[in-house]
Structure 1
Amino acid sequence: MNADWYPLSDAPPFPAAGYAALADDLADILGTRNDVLLIQAEAVVALEAVAQSLAQSPTQSPGRPGIRALNIVTSLYGRWFGGWLRRAGAEVVDLMAALPGQPVTAAEVEQALSGGRFDLVAVVHAESAYGILNPLPEIAALVRAHGALLVVDAVASVGGHALAVDDLGVDVAVIGPQKSLGGQAGVSALSISDRAWGRVAPAGEAPSILSLADQRDQWLKTGRGMLPGTPSALEFHALAQTLRRVKAEGIAALQDRHHHAATAARAGARALTGRAWVAPDQASNLVTAAALPDGLTAAQVLAAAAPGHALSAGVGPGGEGLIRLNHTGARASLPVVLGDLAVLGRALAAAGYRADVGAALVAAERAANADRSA
């Protein structure tokens, strides 16, 4: 390490007036007029704070059960959210996708909602674990018709997929800058509707990062100046720079860039293995899951890949049957996708599967060009 380089200790203080501007920029990205809170921790903490704050009714008497929640589980992240809700006292019904590593369908959500009253529905929009996309517009319409609150984990999807919070009727959207926005993971944010504020548990005797009411009372109600506690200047400078880059590119252009990269990756992956993990309209723009041929596992392919590669297996049940191509943030570009496809093709060949790398690269380029022309 260069002993003359001190970016960590030499970062100037973040200006107190700058936090509100960050929140406003994030609101623009989310397409919302709802309140936006900045959380001084990575997005997992923001998600747990939402669960902790909404699991109990504000008027709940001691000894009574908490709210009833439908928790859509299509990866470990959904399982975690359900666990946080249960720990905080909610009654949770988990809705699992019919097959591991697949998105849930609107019909499955509709059937689950018909099973009784639900106060809250939670869903992950885009899943990095499997490269899948849950049908958020359809789910949002069903949840609105049911009268429940809708909580969306949009950490991966924001910037890579269209996400119009107010138009969809999303009550809480949790985001982080480290995925499609191309930033760092040290801070996160969430938008919260007036309806959701009405269901948030009241502030406690001592302030807690897991209490949205505390965040409201200590920051929103005090004029959105300096954040409570001791904010990390470095991470907020990084967030500000990330949002400047997003604004310069434009959120629509950023989403298009992810879509072009994903289109190329899906076409190339299918040309290599002869199969797709999910249909294009069920696939994430951030990660492409290359479905492996029968008889091959992700561990075998990764062991055969060249050193320094960026390929990875899926995370969770079924994940050993796929290889993930990461085209998120700065990696959302055709050259990166072509490089990863070449690495995957050579690894498949080394693992004993005949893969035509040249045909895959041609398929990826043609798909990207057609997508740009559409």
Structure 2
Amino acid sequence: MVDDVDVLTDENGRDKQGVEAAVRKIIHIDMDAFYASVEQRDNPELRGKPVAVGGSAARGVVAAASYEARAFGVHSALASVTAKRRCPDLIFVKPRFDVYRAVSQQIRSIFAEHTDLIEPLSLDEAYLDVTTNKHNIAIATEIAALIRARIKEVTGLNASAGVSYCKFLAKMASDLNKPNGQAVITPKHGPAFVEALAVKKFHGVGPATAAKMERLGILTGSDLKACSLPFLQENFGKAGAWYHRIARAIDDRPVQPDRPRKSIGAEDTFDTDVVEFEPAKAELSPLATKVWQYCEARDFSGKTVTLKIKYADFKIITRSRTLVAPVRSEGQLLELAVSLLAGTFPTPKGIRLLGITLSSLVTEPNQQRQLSFGL
């Protein structure tokens, strides 16, 4: 584990060991078990108990789990039935995304007290570039500690932080002292940290890629570093260049405050499998409403509508249609989703989940949508 210390530099930008100091100071803030912690905060009866947000004892998947539940091996994306089997005393709570979004806004306001270079990754985590900051604080770990304390004061929730000279290592550092802790990976420690890290723990390396790397004999960052760029590009395509750089602890990606959203979606898992078209069609209406309300609130629309279907055996298929012009109304969104659904019937098996996603997003002012629809 890396100690919670910052880089001390001299006037020539070198640390005490003579290593060139990084110019940037990046903080990754990650809320601890965010959804579950909000529920435990708001309901004292849940405190100290294993809590799963989302799903139910019989259906669905876990969206988030408290640390008490994690001790039993319960985690996000785990099937609810499996979660209940692992933790018989698990308490399922329906998600309250309106509350989570409101708390997230409080947290982002705290970030903005220190820097405008904020790149949210989700409701509960973000990158901050504090190389230059509003209070002229030289030590990045001091800023991280101030932010975490302020989050606790305002929301009553715990946050963890990682500090480093690049986004990749800041992200990895935020996991080192969870929950309610922070760590720093300095330029001196960065290369050795990556070399010792299992590639399956690299942020951005999913199970399929990790399995492929294992088949190629790549188990650690050191193994990855030993691979040539042509070899990585041959086996991993465009991602090969990224793996080549990150194996050397090189990540020049900037913190992007205006990182564009790529899609907006909603999905629902049913209490019982749906096998007939009309009941399935009826389930699409509230999903279209959720997606469109989000779009209207933020002046978004999109050109690509995707239908997601998860069957009773957990097989997932998707069907998409891309338009020349953006979707103009909730009714049009629903109509497109229904037409995609119709193409999958008669269904070979029961449907346990449906989802609608709108992508290829564009800014579409509400008045313009209304005028276009009216014409």
Settle same-fold status: TM greater than 0.5: no
TM-score (norm 1): 0.30
| Structure with the higher strand share, 1 or 2 | 2
TM-score (norm 2): 0.30
Greater Rg over alpha carbons, structure: 2
Relative contact order higher in (CA < 8 Å, ≥ 6 apart): 1
| Structure with the higher helix share, 1 or 2 | 1
